[in-house]
């Protein structure tokens, strides 16, 4: 194998919208030389059974992510605010449509 | 954090059925075991296309040909999902592919058996994919997130493979005497190698205990093998074929079939590279890689050219 083949093609993360009205959802990734071929590869790899109506591809190295190490503290502020959920509130019996 | 504490937390998480994700801390052995297992699985999907390709141009009808093409395309897709998962663990795809091409990597030894007749395409779907499904359904619940997700996709697609295979065998089994004989002969040749797909017996499977502890696997080789036998015997009976095992007998007490001795010498010989088709499979992969090089080069040049014209 020649040395110049050693490098992988860039990695693209693939997001698919399964039907109009829904969000695009991450399904996996593909290697491709450019965005257009990444979209075509993603179609062949992830939508062989009509799973999608739209595809986004994003260079994998363009994604920034939160760190799992401080997952606890990072999401902490949301944990003690149960009053943000409707089930926190008591509603008198017989009251409807609320 | 100290290694011991990390390990303890890791085990707690696995025990609590929380999936392990790529950036999470994991023991090196967990990472290595998964890279090995996932890449072998990926290679198996890729090499698995070869015995099927053997009958593509000779499929008995256009319907069968279209189905077989679609199935082979699925196998290529399965290979890709799996290479993707291996990459999330820090493996390099090109390295993995080179290991396969250099003959260093293992793949499922079942694909080193030849597809001699059209009935074998049926047996590959019914028995080989059927055995693979037992393992893959278990792996949809494996502890490593990306691997589990790839398995969910694969299992959805795989059930068509098994059904189309069974349909081929059932059609032959209900055909002329000659066709039925072809189906029976195929079952005779594929039955035992299919049982070997689950790997050595539990007492001879040294890595199993740790894989179970880390919930990479959830059922032992012997459990999966028994499940497969229990399901498949009835399917063979339904189409009037005989499973080639004189010791096969329903055991009321165990609630399972008892079955005969597996020829493990054969299994280890095939793994060592002495199966009927090991060399042929490897050569076919190397040839395919070589023949595809112009496509890879053209794609690179095309992308570079477009990038330049965009910048201009």
Query: Which residue of chain A comes nearest to B293, CA vs CA?
Result: A5
- Provide the pLDDT for residue B154: 96
In the predicted structure, residue B24 carries a pLDDT above the cut 90: yes
Query: Which residue of chain B comes nearest to A41, CA vs CA?
Result: B77
ipTM of the complex: 0.87
Query: Which residue of chain B comes nearest to A46, CA vs CA?
Result: B77
Q: What is the mean pLDDT of chain A?
A: 89
In the predicted structure, residue A1 carries a pLDDT above the cut 70: no
Decide if A10 contacts B298 (C-beta within 8 A): no
Mean pLDDT over residues B202-221, rounded?
Answer: 91
- Provide the pLDDT for residue B311: 78
pLDDT tens digits for range B260-276: 999 999 999 999 999 99
Contacts of B25 (CB under 8 A, 6+ apart): A68, A69, B6, B9, B10
In the predicted structure, residue A20 carries a pLDDT above the cut 80: yes
pLDDT tens digits for range B133-163: 999 999 999 999 999 999 999 999 988 999 9
In the predicted structure, residue A91 carries a pLDDT above the cut 50: yes
Size of interface A-B (CB pairs under 8 A): 53
Query: For B93, which of A8, A45, A49 is closest by C-beta distance?
Result: A8
Q: What's phi and psi for A5, nearest 5 deg?
A: -85, -10
- Provide the pLDDT for residue B123: 98
Q: Tell me whether residues A48 and B21 touch, CB distance under 8 A.
A: no
pLDDT tens digits for range A70-87: 777 888 877 788 899 999
Q: What's phi and psi for A13, nearest 5 deg?
A: -85, 140
Q: Tell me whether residues A45 and B98 touch, CB distance under 8 A.
A: no
Tokens of B274: 């002495």
Name the nearest CA neighbour of A53 among A19, A25, A15, A22: A19
pLDDT tens digits for range B25-48: 999 999 999 999 999 999 999 999
- Provide the pLDDT for residue B1: 67
In the predicted structure, residue A5 carries a pLDDT above the cut 60: no
Work out the angle between the directed axes of helices B62-88 and A35-46 (0-180°, nearest 10): 120
- Find the chain B residues whose C-beta atoms sit closer than 8 A to any C-beta of A: 21, 23-25, 70, 73-74, 77, 80-81, 84, 87, 92-94, 98, 101, 149-150, 153, 157, 293, 296, 299-300, 302-303, 306-307
Question: Which residues are registered as beta bridge partners of B144?
Answer: B20
pLDDT tens digits for range A54-67: 999 999 999 999 88
Handedness of CA B269, B273, B274, B278 (dihedral sign): positive
Predicted structure pTM score: 0.92
In the predicted structure, residue A3 carries a pLDDT above the cut 90: no
Mean pLDDT over residues B214-235, rounded?
Answer: 97
Written in H, E and C, the secondary structure of B250-267 is EECCCCEEECCCCCHHHH
Mean pLDDT over residues B117-139, rounded?
Answer: 97
Provide the percentage of residues in chain B whose pLDDT is more than 90: 92
Decide if A46 contacts A24 (C-beta within 8 A): no
């Amino acid at each position: 194998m020649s040395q110049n083949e050693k490098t992988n093609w860039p990695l693209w993360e693939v997001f698919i919208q399964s039907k109009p009205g829904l969000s695009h959802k991450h399904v996996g990734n593909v290697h491709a030389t450019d965005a257009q071929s990444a979209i075509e590869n993603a179609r062949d790899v992830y939508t062989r059974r009509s799973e999608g109506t739209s595809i986004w591809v994003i260079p994998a190295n363009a994604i920034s992510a939160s760190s799992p190490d401080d997952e606890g503290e990072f999401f902490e502020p949301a944990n003690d605010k149960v009053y943000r959920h409707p089930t926190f509130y008591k509603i008198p019996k017989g009251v409807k449509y609320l | 954090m100290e290694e011991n504490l990390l390990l303890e937390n890791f085990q707690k998480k696995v025990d609590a059925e929380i999936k392990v994700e790529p950036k999470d801390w994991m023991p090196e052995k967990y990472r290595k075991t998964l890279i090995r297992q996932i890449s072998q699985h990926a290679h198996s999907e890729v090499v698995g296309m070869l015995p099927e390709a053997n009958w593509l141009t000779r499929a008995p009808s256009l319907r069968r040909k279209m189905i077989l093409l679609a199935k082979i395309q699925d196998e290529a897709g399965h290979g890709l999902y799996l290479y993707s998962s291996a990459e999330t663990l820090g493996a390099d795809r090109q390295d993995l592919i080179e290991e396969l091409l250099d003959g260093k990597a293992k793949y499922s030894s079942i694909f080193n058996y030849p597809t001699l007749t059209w009935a074998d395409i049926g047996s590959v779907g019914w028995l080989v994919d059927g055995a693979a499904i037992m393992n893959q359904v278990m792996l949809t619940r494996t502890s490593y997130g990306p691997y589990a997700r790839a398995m969910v996709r694969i299992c959805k697609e795989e059930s068509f493979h098994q059904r189309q295979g069974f349909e081929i065998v059932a059609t032959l089994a209900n055909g002329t005497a000659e066709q039925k004989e072809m189906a029976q002969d195929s079952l005779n040749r594929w039955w035992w190698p299919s049982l070997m797909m689950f790997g050595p017996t539990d007492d001879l499977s040294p890595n199993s205990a740790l894989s179970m502890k880390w919930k990479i696997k959830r059922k032992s080789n012997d459990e999966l093998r028994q499940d497969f036998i229990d399901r498949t015997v009835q399917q063979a009976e339904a189409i009037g074929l005989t499973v080639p095992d004189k010791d096969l007998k329903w055991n009321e007490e165990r609630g399972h079939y008892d079955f005969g001795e597996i020829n493990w010498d054969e299994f280890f010989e095939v793994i060592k590279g002495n199966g009927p088709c090991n060399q042929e499979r490897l050569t076919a992969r190397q040839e395919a890689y070589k023949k595809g090089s112009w496509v890879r080069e053209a794609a690179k040049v095309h992308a570079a050219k477009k990038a330049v014209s965009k910048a201009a």
